[in-house]
Amino acid sequence: MIYKVHVEFSKEVLEIINDEITIGIKSKPIKGEANKEIIKKIAKHFKMSTALVQIKSGHKSSEKIIEILE
């Protein structure tokens, strides 16, 4: 499944509407820490391994495309 992800900093939110996810994170976008937090939160929400969540595009953007493998 492919999702569009919008990242909001300094917020605690995880909202999924159709194929779009709005996620709030606390980590700063330094050395991939923010991307790691995004992957962990999405994997936890879907109750799956972090290895099944991949960022396909937008590694350095607040708008990302992620894929959840099944």
Pairwise CA distance, residues 21 & 18, whole Å: 8
pLDDT at 64 over 90: yes
pLDDT per residue over 4-55, tens digit each? 999 999 999 999 999 999 999 999 889 999 999 999 999 999 999 999 999 9
pLDDT at 70 over 90: no
- pTM recorded for the entire structure: 0.93
53, 68 in Cβ contact below 8 A? yes
25 pairs with which residues across the strands? 9
Pairwise CA distance, residues 44 & 50, whole Å: 8
What tokens does 16 get?
């999924």
Phi, psi of 43 (to 5 degrees): -60, -40
- CATH for 2-68 is 3.30.1200.10
pLDDT at 57 over 90: yes
